[in-house]
Amino acid sequence: MKAPDITMGANDWLGELVTNGVVSPIELGDKADDFLPVAITASTYDGQVYELPYAVENLALLRNADFVPEAASSYEDMIAKGTAAGVTYPFLVEQGVDGNPYHLYPFETSFGAPVFGTDASGGYDATKLEIGNAGGEAFASWLASQGKNGTGVLNTEITGDIAKTAFTSGDAAFWLTGPWNVGAALDAGINLAVDPVAAPSTGTAAPFAGVKGFFISEQSANKVAVPMPAIPAMGQVWQFWGIAQAAANSIASP
């Protein structure tokens, strides 16, 4: 069975594809400046670009402007505004019983706890696991305060479908989600505004940027063969990261 010369995929495939030797590096040349820096960084592994990016997507805060006319200045302000709107859910974010690190990551970064540190080139460094740093401990404490034994705002029983139904039905003021759900909100007639993620701590709430692009097969006869984290270790990180967050979200607030 022959593989295609070009494959479309996401940047978090990159580490595994490169490690298995199935994709070839590409050279963007003077076109590199036409792409967003984050797209180039996400498409780079071990100093070489392997993906031609065509789209970047990330989480943002969807707001029902009929309920809340102005953007929230912080997480606390968001909850206050959502509560004042008198809806069932001031704020919703997809989780689930095993947690959802992707959706909670913006909150975690605001505490200064990225999943990995970076190297000199700005890429992720798998030897610098930073989830458990002091910021990570502060995030875990905050997560507990927002769980079922705290405010109850962050609820592991909220799935993606529940959050979508509630927001599009006009039962929620804010919804943390991605561009894949914007159409559903507009189709439902929601007076929609899109805001940056409201930060619960002093740092910026920085979501993962997912980059989609094109990979060239290492076996292609038609290539020019020149030279979400893409680190292969991420495959082992996601599950246990989510379970730890779900556990923190369920313990009593200190």
User: 6-57+208-223 with 58-207+238-250: one CATH topology?
Assistant: yes
How do residues 180-191 score in pLDDT, each as one tens digit? Answer: 999 999 999 999
Which among 157, 174, 164 has a CA at the least distance from the CA of 69?
174
pTM for this entry: 0.83
130 has a pLDDT exceeding 70: yes
Q: What is the pLDDT of residue 232?
A: 79
Strands 172-177 and 89-93: parallel
Assess contact for 5 and 216: CB atoms under 8 A: yes
H-helix or E-strand containing 211? Answer: strand 209-217
Q: What is the pLDDT of residue 160?
A: 96
Burial class for 222, CB neighbours closer than 10 Å (0-12, 13-18, 19+):
exposed
How do residues 71-88 score in pLDDT, each as one tens digit? Answer: 999 999 999 999 999 999
Comparing 46 with 91, the larger pLDDT belongs to 91
Matching CATH number, 6-57+208-223, of 3.10.20.600, 3.20.20.60, 3.40.50.970, 3.40.190.10: 3.40.190.10
H-helix or E-strand containing 19? Answer: helix 14-19
Quickly count helices (H) and strands (E) in the chain: 8, 12
Entry field: residues in the chain: 254
Which among 129, 74, 112, 99 has a CA at the least distance from the CA of 239?
99
Q: What is the pLDDT of residue 254?
A: 64
Domain ranges in the chain? Answer: 6-57+208-223, 58-207+238-250
Q: Which fold is adopted by the domain 58-207+238-250?
A: D-Maltodextrin-Binding Protein; domain 2 (3.40.190)
Percent of the chain at pLDDT above 90?
A: 63
